[in-house]
């Protein structure tokens, strides 16, 4: 998706942020709802937050995620460095080895079987979005983030991926109909939300029955530097068993996790 081209498969699952109607948008250079809402698509993403109150970043980490410089450097420099500091060397599949991380996420989402649509929730500059889109070329992959800077970079890098649609929205209130997605990918973002439980409740709602959530987040920092950095950046870390219990409370089943140093990848299913 870039310029005015938006994969039409997204229309039936998209909810208008103003009138809350599903499937009401018509595509063009401007994406319009009959209620009067017009969403500009020319920047390469649908900004569904531009029609309401602008959210303000509450953590110092999130303020950095809004920076065009960080967004540009994120994939090559910021992400590998940050993961190494916060998760330690034991995060083997993550540190400098995106291929390993992708292998785990792709397998857990069963993308080899072409399952879709898939939501890459908090996609950042779209590292997973592009990789998931390439792994399942027949499936719609929606990359969603709250940061304009991240989405601008994601849009430039996802040129040529016809099955990618990028959306600016808030993870706490997803602009999709119930049961829209076969899979939700949520890499390295749970720790950044103001209310992770609300975001996971939304994930449960937008997954179809049998749909899978795959994510990664941080556990306890293995080093003092990691613990201090996490505290300064306002990063929340999960205690052992905490996420499993939270997801069970929200109605998820079949929880599994894989520890990678001070980080872990998890998978759960909406029954």
Ligand X SMILES: C[S@@+](CC[C@H](N)C(=O)[O-])C[C@H]1O[C@@H](n2cnc3c(N)ncnc32)[C@H](O)[C@@H]1O
Applying CB under 6 A, the residues found at the interface with ligand X are: 62, 65, 79, 122-124, 127-128, 145-147, 150, 170-172, 187-189, 192-193
Nearer to ligand X, 33 or 102 (CB): 102
Output the residue with the shortest Cβ distance to ligand X.
Answer: 124
CA distance 204 to 270: 6
CB of 25 to ligand X, least distance (A): 20
Q: How far is the CB of 44 from ligand X (least distance, A)?
A: 15
Among residues 253, 247, 256, which one has the least CA distance to residue 269?
A: 253
- For residue 166, the SS3 value is strand
Q: Which is nearer to ligand X, 28 or 52 (CB)?
A: 52
In angstroms, what is the minimal distance from the CB of 146 to ligand X? 4
For residue 193, the minimal CB distance to ligand X (Å) is: 5
Nearest distance from C-beta of residue 50 to ligand X, angstroms: 15
Residue 5 corresponds to which tokens in the numbers above? 């081209």
Q: Which is nearer to ligand X, 123 or 206 (CB)?
A: 123
Task: Give the pair of three-digit tokens for residue 246.
Answer: 């939270």
């Amino acid at each position: 998706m870039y310029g005015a081209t938006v994969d039409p498969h997204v229309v039936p699952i998209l909810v208008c942020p103003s009138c809350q109607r599903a499937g009401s948008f018509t595509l063009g250079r401007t994406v319009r709802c009959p209620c009067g809402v017009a969403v500009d698509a020319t920047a390469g993403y649908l900004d569904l937050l531009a029609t309401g109150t602008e959210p303000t970043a509450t953590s110092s980490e999130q303020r950095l995620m809004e920076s065009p410089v960080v967004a540009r450097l994120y994939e090559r420099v910021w992400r590998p460095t940050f993961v190494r500091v916060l998760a330690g060397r034991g995060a083997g599949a993550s540190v400098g080895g995106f291929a390993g991380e992708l292998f785990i996420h792709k397998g857990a989402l069963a993308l080899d079987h072409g399952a879709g649509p898939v939501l890459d929730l908090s996609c950042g500059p779209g590292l997973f979005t592009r990789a998931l889109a390439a792994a399942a070329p027949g499936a719609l992959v929606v990359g969603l983030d709250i940061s304009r800077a991240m989405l601008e970079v994601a849009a430039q890098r996802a040129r040529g991926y016809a099955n990618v649609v990028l959306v600016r929205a808030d993870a706490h209130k997803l602009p999709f109909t119930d049961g829209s997605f076969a899979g939700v990918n949520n890499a390295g973002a749970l720790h950044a939300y103001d209310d992770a439980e609300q975001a996971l409740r939304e994930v449960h709602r937008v997954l179809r029955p049998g749909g899978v959530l795959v994510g990664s987040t941080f556990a306890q920092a293995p080093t003092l530097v990691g613990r201090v950095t996490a505290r300064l950046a306002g990063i929340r870390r999960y205690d052992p068993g905490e996420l499993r219990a939270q997801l069970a409370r929200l109605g998820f089943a079949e929880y599994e996790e894989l520890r990678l140093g001070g980080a872990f990848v998890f998978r759960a299913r909406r029954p």
